[in-house]
Amino acid sequence: MTTPAAPTRPQRLWDISPLVSTQSPIFPGDEAYSLRWTARLSPECPVNLSALTMSPHVGAHADAPLHYANGAASAAEVDLAAYLGPCRVIHAIDCGPLIRIEHLQHAAADLPARVLVRCCERADTQWNPEFSAFAPETVAWLAAQGVQLIGLDTPSVDPASSKSLDSHQQLLALNLRVLENLVLDEVAEGDYELIALPLKLAGACASPVRAVLREL
């Protein structure tokens, strides 16, 4: 008679997506989240139905190359492989305006193809233009280590005041994918599985994601 196998413990999940609401911080001039009801449950109607209006950059999102290059791939056209698989979270809390190579080198041995950087002790819940972004040379350095996707817990890989978007242009030149507006407040440094698939939105410059990390 064989002994029954012990039940396996479920792998822990970390939800690294902020709540999307009318209070979500957005870039000035961007389209805020709004919801309206087109039908309500009643004796005459069997369901509730809602309609949404929002920029695809509200909350956790994946920029498509179309966001920073005319004629480049839209959210519906990006390869999904970069958004799913082994990932490393690296802490660079209070690193200042730019994430530089030296902020990441302490955790750079044998990097997986996905790297998320925690810049904030607590992710901002109101618009703050003084957020940390990537130095373009850091993006290039990560690509040289074999990284295919980078992400961070602030609104953009470039500073809010940037007009040249140098780090976005590095993403384009090096064929990297990016996740922005993550929430890494409760995530320790280390290796995880990332799951953050963009929606198949035709012609869109970005897509919301429900980003999660799973214990390896």
Q: Which pTM value belongs to this model? A: 0.94
The token pair that represents 27 in the structure block: 């870039």
For the chain, what are the domain ranges?
14-18+59-214
CB 142 within 8 Å of CB 178:
no
57 is catalytic: no
Half-sphere exposure of 147 (CA within 13 A, CB side): 27
The answer, yes or no, to whether residue 66 has pLDDT greater than 70, is: yes
Residue 62 has pLDDT above 70, yes or no: yes
Catalytic pick from 67, 91, 103, 168?
Answer: 67
* Confidence bin at 8 (pLDDT 50/70/90): confident
pLDDT for the residue numbered 104 = 98
Average pLDDT over residues 97-117: 98
pLDDT at 175: 97
Which residue type sits at 163?
Answer: K
- Indicate whether 194 pLDDT > 80: yes
Cα dihedral sign, 174-177-183-189: negative
Write the pLDDT tens digit of every residue in 26-52. Answer: 999 999 999 999 999 999 999 999 999
CATH number for the domain whose boundaries are 14-18+59-214 = 3.50.30.50
Average pLDDT along the chain: 96
- pLDDT: is 1 or 181 the higher one? 181
List, for residues 109-147, the tens digit of each pLDDT value: 999 999 999 999 999 999 999 999 999 999 999 999 999
21 vs 167, 179, 215, CA distance in Å? 28, 19, 28
- H or E segment and range at residue 88: strand 84-91
Question: How do residues 76-94 score in pLDDT, each as one tens digit?
Answer: 999 999 999 999 999 999 9
Return the biggest CA–CA distance within the chain. Answer: 71
pLDDT of residue 1: 62
pLDDT tens-digit profile of 149-159? 999 999 999 99
Which pair of tokens denotes residue 142?
Answer: 């990560």
**pLDDT of res. 10:** 86
User: 6 pLDDT band (50/70/90 cuts)?
Assistant: low
